[in-house]
Chain A
């Protein structure tokens, strides 16, 4: 069964550093998403991406965040200057239509 692949599974970074979280969506999917879950809290929507541009974003997705589809297979989330409160599990998802998401297994980001 097709999968959404995320790397790395765990990333530790120092406060103020830039991180890039990587995702390989399912190949025929057109819509891509990033969510995050701070420990013990809800899964929160960050951003959706379609046709090489951001289609929706939440209030969380401020100027320190950016997304990119650098080639035909990868979808990345960049956090420019990490803060302690960015520590969370980050989930990538993709969908063929605007529903029926397939999620990756997540990247646990720890900012120290």
Chain B
């Protein structure tokens, strides 16, 4: 069955790059997502990548996908205090269901 794992915490200094990692078990993933949850808010879709891509860049965000190792990462360049949030990795599988499977979320804490 599918499983998505993330580390629970990451602490960085403002201005540094953050890299949030995620591993998944099912090789039939079609889409892989990163969601952001700010305190008191819902899950906001940040970016996604198709499973046939290796990399996707969107302004300060870079998503890297290593299909061989089933590893997904989200790099945030020039991390700001406003980036402090919980970041969720999620995948959807081929075979018809579009229901994403989420990880536990990584709490990113950005220090001034």
Partner of B44 from the list A9, A48, A103 (CB cut-off 8 Å) is A103
Known A43-B88, A99-B31; judge A105-B99 contact (CB<8 A).
Answer: no
Cβ of B98 and Cβ of A104 under 8 Å apart? no
Asked whether any CB of chain B lies closer than 8 Å to the CB of A40, the reply is yes
The reply to whether the CB of A51 lies closer than 8 angstroms to some CB of chain B is no
Say whether B42 contacts A91, CB under 8 Å: yes
B contacts with A, residue count (CB < 8 A) = 21
Indicate if the CB atoms of A98 and B42 lie closer than 8 Å: no
Q: Which residues of B contact A45 (CB under 8 A)?
A: 99-101
- Residues on A with beta carbons closer than 8 Å to the beta carbon of B101: 45
Nearest CB of chain B from residue A10's CB, rounded to whole Å: 11
Interface: B104 (CB within 8 A): yes
Residue A56 is within 8 A (CB to CB) of chain B in the complex: yes
Q: Does B45 contact A (CB under 8 A)?
A: yes
Residue of A nearest to B41 (CB): A105
Name the B residues within 8 Å of A35 (CB-CB): 102
User: How many contacts A-B (CB < 8 Å)?
Assistant: 48
- Identity of the chain B residue whose Cβ is nearest the Cβ of A45 in the assembled complex: B99
Task: Confirm or deny: A72 has a beta carbon within 8 angstroms of a beta carbon on chain B.
Answer: no
Q: How far is the CA of A104 from the CA of B98 in the complex (A)?
A: 19
B103: A residues at CB distance < 8 A? 42-43
User: Is B42 within 8 A of A104, CB to CB?
Assistant: yes
A48 lies within 8 A of B99 (CB):
yes
**B44 contacts which chain A residues (CB < 8 A)?**
103
- What is the 8 Å Cβ interface bit string for chain B, positions 82-110, against chain A (1 contact, 0 not)? 00000010101000011111111100000
B112 at the interface (CB under 8 A from A): no
Q: Within residues 5 to 47 of chain A, which ones have a CB less than 8 A from any CB in chain B?
A: 6, 9, 33, 35, 40-45
Question: Which residues on the B side are within 8 Å of A70 (C-beta)?
Answer: none
